[in-house]
């Protein structure tokens, strides 16, 4: 944030010293361009969770410092949609752990891979992110590159681990960037198609109604995050892909159906 403040201060200084007027929209545009460049360490300063909220990143790290961690789990990661995806309710047939954190972007999760993902040695990672990246005006090509960097970091440490990426979803509140989301999804599909350990869960068809717009009943009052019905619809798409990913993991590891992996 201090980098952003310094940039804005510099713009104001130019006005004072040179007398050149910079329209307010130019400063606002500069702020938008820098929003996605904020340091990932900002998540370490999150406040403790409020009542009925899911844990924050600092709480994950505190718990992991003393708790014996299960391995070869289904690990849910990514932004608020992943964070709200209650593993006990929706993934009771797997040994699942949720390490999503609300508001995060793809590169935020990549930054904390060593702390919140690798210790679990996941058999499959269920990953939803990219929505916040594009909303912060991160360029599409950078968003795609950040996804590639995430997969490469996982692959370097855990070559057999499967990654299921849930497509960036359309929503009412962010409909204005739907075109950018579609472009990012296409670029991510190209990366996934080149690696048999990557899988794409396309939830776009269930999110859109007959009119081609997001289905209101799948979104809560903020017109962005999912209702229980939304998660149920997503589960119908995602779960068969997770089962296929788990089967591939077992083949690569030489395990039988119950020998390893996230199935209970």
Q: Which two tokens stand for residue 90?
A: 């929706």
Q: Are 260 and 71 in contact (CB under 8 A)?
A: no
Mean pLDDT by 10 residues, the chain (264 residues): 44 39 43 73 77 79 93 96 92 95 94 97 97 95 97 97 98 97 98 98 98 97 96 97 96 77 71
pLDDT at 29: 46
pLDDT at 261: 76
Task: Name every residue whose Cβ is closer than 8 Å to that of residue 39 and which is 6 or more positions away in sequence.
Answer: none
- Full set of structural domains in the chain with CATH: 1-35 (no CATH), 54-253 (3.40.50.1110)
User: H-helix or E-strand containing 127?
Assistant: strand 124-128
Q: Are 36 and 136 in contact (CB under 8 A)?
A: yes
> How far apart are the C-alpha atoms of 233 and 236, rounded to whole Å?
5
Rounded to the nearest 5 percent, the helix, strand and coil shares of the chain are: 55, 10, 35
Q: Are 56 and 100 in contact (CB under 8 A)?
A: no
**Cβ atoms within 10 Å of 36's Cβ, excluding its own:** 19
b/e burial code for range 39-56 (CB count within 10 A of at least 16 → b):
eeeebeeeeeeeeeebbb
Q: Which pTM value belongs to this model?
A: 0.85
Q: Which two tokens stand for residue 111?
A: 């930054």
Burial of 208 (0-12, 13-18, 19+ CB in 10 A): middle
pLDDT at 18: 39
Burial of 251 (0-12, 13-18, 19+ CB in 10 A): exposed
User: 137 phi and psi, to 5 degrees?
Assistant: 70, 25
**For 57-60, which contacts have Cβ atoms below 8 Å and span 24 or more sequence positions?**
57/101, 57/112, 57/116, 60/99, 60/101, 60/115, 60/116
Tell me, rounded to whole angstroms, the distance of Cα 233 from its chain centroid: 18
């Amino acid at each position: 944030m201090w980098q952003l403040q310094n940039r804005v201060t510099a713009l104001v200084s130019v006005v004072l010293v040179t007398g050149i007027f910079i329209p307010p929209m130019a400063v606002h545009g500069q702020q938008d361009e820098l929003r996605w460049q904020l340091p990932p360490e900002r998540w370490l300063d999150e406040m403790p969770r409020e009542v009925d909220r899911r844990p924050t990143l600092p709480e994950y790290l505190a718990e992991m410092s003393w708790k014996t961690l299960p391995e070869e789990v289904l690990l849910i990661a990514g932004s608020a949609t992943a964070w709200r995806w209650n593993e006990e309710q929706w993934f009771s047939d797997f040994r699942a752990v949720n390490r999503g954190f609300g508001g995060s972007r793809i590169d935020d999760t990549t930054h904390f891979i060593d702390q919140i993902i690798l210790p679990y040695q996941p058999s499959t990672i269920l990953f939803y992110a990219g929505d916040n990246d594009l909303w912060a005006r991160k360029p599409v090509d950078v968003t795609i590159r950040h996804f590639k960097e995430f997969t490469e970091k996982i692959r370097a440490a855990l070559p057999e681990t499967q990654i299921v990426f849930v497509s960036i979803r359309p929503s009412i509140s962010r409909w204005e960037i739907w075109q950018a989301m579609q472009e990012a999804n296409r670029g991510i599909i190209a990366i996934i198609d080149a690696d048999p350990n990557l899988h794409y869960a396309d939830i776009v068809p269930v999110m859109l109604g007959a009119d081609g717009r997001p289905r209101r009943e799948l979104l809560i009052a903020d017109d962005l995050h999912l209702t229980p019905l939304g998660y149920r619809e997503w589960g119908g798409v995602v779960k068969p892909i997770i089962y296929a990913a788990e089967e591939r993991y077992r083949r690569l590891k030489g395990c039988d159906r119950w020998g390893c992996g996230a199935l209970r």
